[in-house]
Amino acid sequence: MLRAYYIANVLEAGCDEAGRGPLAGSVFAAAVILPPEEKLSAAWEGLNDSKQMTENERYALRPTIEEESLAWAIGEVTAEEIDRINILQAALLAMRRALDGLSVRPEHIIVDGNKWKPYGFPAIPADTVVKGDGKYLSIAAASVLAKTYRDDYMNRLHEEYPQYHWDTNKGYPTLAHYEAIRQYGITPYHRRSFRLTKE
Confidence of residue 50 (pLDDT cuts 50, 70, 90): confident
* Separation of alpha carbons 164 and 177, rounded Å: 6
User: Which of 88, 95, 121 has the alpha carbon at shortest distance from 109?
Assistant: 95
Residue ranges of E strands in the chain: 12-18, 27-33, 71-77, 108-112, 126-129
Return the percentage of the chain with pLDDT > 90, whole number.
88
Computed over every residue of the chain, the mean pLDDT equals 96
User: Which of 142, 197, 188, 144 has the alpha carbon at shortest distance from 26?
Assistant: 188
Q: Are 152 and 58 in contact (CB under 8 A)?
A: no
Is 19 part of any domain? Answer: yes
Confidence of residue 45 (pLDDT cuts 50, 70, 90): confident
Is 96 part of any domain? Answer: yes
Q: Are 71 and 102 in contact (CB under 8 A)?
A: yes
User: Following CA atoms 167, 169, 171, 177 in sequence, which dihedral angle do they give, to the nearest 10 degrees?
Assistant: -110
Is 104 part of any domain? Answer: yes
pLDDT tens for each residue of 127-139: 999 999 999 999 9
Is 140 part of any domain? Answer: yes
199 pLDDT above the threshold of 80? no
Domains of the chain: total = 1
* Separation of alpha carbons 15 and 108, rounded Å: 11
Domain that includes residue 117, residue range:
12-159
Is 195 part of any domain? Answer: no
Confidence of residue 1 (pLDDT cuts 50, 70, 90): confident
pLDDT tens for each residue of 21-37: 999 999 999 999 999 98
Q: What are phi and psi of 17, to 5 degrees?
A: -125, 165
Is 52 part of any domain? Answer: yes
Is 70 part of any domain? Answer: yes
Please count the residues of the chain.
199
What pLDDT score does 3 carry? 92
Confidence of residue 146 (pLDDT cuts 50, 70, 90): very high
Q: What is the CATH number of the domain that holds 95?
A: 3.30.420.10
pLDDT tens for each residue of 64-94: 999 999 999 999 999 999 999 999 999 999 9
